[in-house]
Amino acid sequence: MNSSLSYYLGLLAVTLLPTAALSQTVSPATDRLVMGNSREMSAGVTVGTADGDEHHLSRYASLPGKGSWLRYGSVDFTPLTDAYLVLSVRARDNAELLVHEGSTKGKVIARVDIVVKGGGGPFRRDYSGQWMSLAVPLLHTPRGIADIVLTCKDTGVDVGWLRFKNRPKYFAPVTSAALRPDDQGYLRRWLLLEPIRQDIRSNVVFTDSYLQKAFSKEYFKGQMTRLPRDGQQVRVGDQRLKWHALDSENYNVRLFRFAERWGQQTYGSLFWAVTVIDSPREIRDVRLSVGSNGASSWWLNGDHVLTLEGDRRMVEDDARSGRLTLRAGRNILRCAVINGPGLSDFCARFLDDEGHAVVEPLTLILPKK
């Protein structure tokens, strides 16, 4: 049998294989991809089997340090629409993990900052040698089927699994010049800052003195005096964070989901939010009515008007301010929400003296670039 005939018979055999047999070697990106099952890796990379409290991890891979890599073959990225990456990692010191497309020199799909030490604060926790689940935004989304290659920058990292997840639609980019509050008066247009990392072991730490210190601290320059712009970056300690102008799809602004998409940390975070309210006339005797998960603090036109203390769930109209005046023209509402473990969100609206939502005269606008 000549070589050409052998080739075409082989091709025919592959074509006639059942679909299930063909798909066994291809993993949907939305599946949990166990790194311990990788078949190609550099010298020094080892595979371990977790047990006891870590049984859910099954097999994991250990990358010893700079220059080490592993390849997970044939991942199908077709199911991804608007996705982010979640993964389980363990490190003994602060580390950086890179997820590439195709090779160690390929495009970076995601950059994972693994912070286990040096977060600071009175309730700092050392996560050295402990498994953590992190959510990371994507820098690049491959098309079709591609290999993924993991490398670490300097310090060694253990990797349990990776999974790419599509998001439900919680936010929409701001497209129109102006937006009114919704029919119930809720303010849905906000400038949100990517989450500021906080070392919070438990929400029980939210005492009055702790919150007063957390909410009065200046985290970035111009925090209470400058109006942020969409896409503007600020530096907070070792973090470089960006402001995002977004319209919430829900009456409550889902901060946890925001952090999943644009932040490196979903738990143990402090969020800053700003909205600009334009009023055609002065409106007296209104009250700011809010709910938040967890604690929050609120400022209108530079004046502190309300704080929600303690570990709490988000409830509509959970707290109301005293009587306020909305100026004719631009009013700036700021809030800070702090949360440890668990979900995080907030809602806000203005009510008149009879408890009716203030809707019609108000417009939510964006600062011009």
Q: Using one digit for the tens of pLDDT, what is the confidence trace for 317-328? A: 999 999 999 999
pLDDT value of residue 51: 64
CA triple 316-363-232, angle to 5 deg: 90
Please state the φ and ψ torsions of residue 261, each to the nearest 5 degrees.
Answer: -85, -40
Strands (E), 138-188: 145-152, 155-166, 171-173, 178-179
What per-residue confidence (pLDDT) applies to 55? 43
Report the pLDDT value the prediction gives residue 11, as an integer from 0 to 100: 36
What is residue 335's predicted lDDT score, i.e. its pLDDT?
97
pLDDT of residue 5: 44
Across the chain, mean pLDDT equals 87
| Cα 169 to Cα 167: distance, rounded to the nearest angstrom | 6
Mean pLDDT across 265-289 = 93
User: Positive or negative, the Cα torsion across 22, 26, 31, 37?
Assistant: positive
In the predicted model, is pLDDT for residue 250 greater than 70?
Answer: yes
Model pTM score: 0.64
- What pLDDT score was predicted for residue 23? 38
Confidence of residue 56 (pLDDT cuts 50, 70, 90): low
The helix/strand/coil state of 90 is: strand
Q: Which 3 state secondary structure label does DSSP give 52?
A: helix
Residue 14 has pLDDT above 60, yes or no: no
Q: Give residue 318's pLDDT.
A: 96
pLDDT band (50, 70, 90) for residue 253: very high
Lowest mean pLDDT among 4-13, 188-197, 267-276, 357-366: 4-13
pLDDT exceeds cutoff 60 at 358: yes
Report, as an integer, the average pLDDT of 214-220: 94
Residue 340 has a pLDDT of: 83
In the chain, the amino acid numbered 98 is L
Tokens read off for 72:
């997970």
CA-based torsion, 226, 230, 231, 237: positive or negative: positive
Cβ neighbourhood burial of 352 (10 Å; 0-12, 13-18, 19+): middle
Contact between 273 and 227 (Cβ < 8 Å): no
The vertex-51 CA angle with 45 and 53, nearest 5°, equals 120
Measured CA distances, 109 to 81, 100, 195 (Å):
14, 5, 21
Q: What is the structure's pLDDT at 82?
A: 86
Query: Average pLDDT in the 205-228 region?
Result: 91
Run of H or E residues at 314: none
Question: Backbone phi, then psi, for 61, in 5-degree steps?
Answer: -115, 145
- pLDDT, residue 368, reads 66
Give pLDDT, residue 119. 57
Q: What is the DSSP string of 215-276?
A: HHS--STTTTTS---TT-EEEETTEEEEEEEEEESSSSEEHHHHHHHH-S-SSSEEEEEEEE
Check whether 251 has a pLDDT greater than 50.
yes
The pLDDT value given to residue 53:
52
Q: pLDDT tens digits, residue range 59-93?
A: 899 999 999 999 999 999 999 998 999 999 999 99
Query: Residues 6 or more apart from 313 whose CB is under 8 A from it?
Result: 293
Q: How confident is the model at residue 201 (pLDDT cuts 50, 70, 90)?
A: low
The DSSP element (H or E) to which 208 belongs, if any, is: helix 208-216
User: What pLDDT digit, counting tens, does each position of 293-349 carry?
Assistant: 999 999 999 999 999 998 889 999 999 999 999 999 999 999 999 988 888 999 999
pLDDT score recorded for residue 58: 75
| Residue 360, pLDDT above cutoff 60 | yes
* Per-residue pLDDT tens over the stretch 95-120: 999 999 999 999 999 999 998 887 54
pLDDT band at 282 (very low <50, low <70, confident <90, very high): very high
Pairing of strands 69-76, 269-279: unpaired
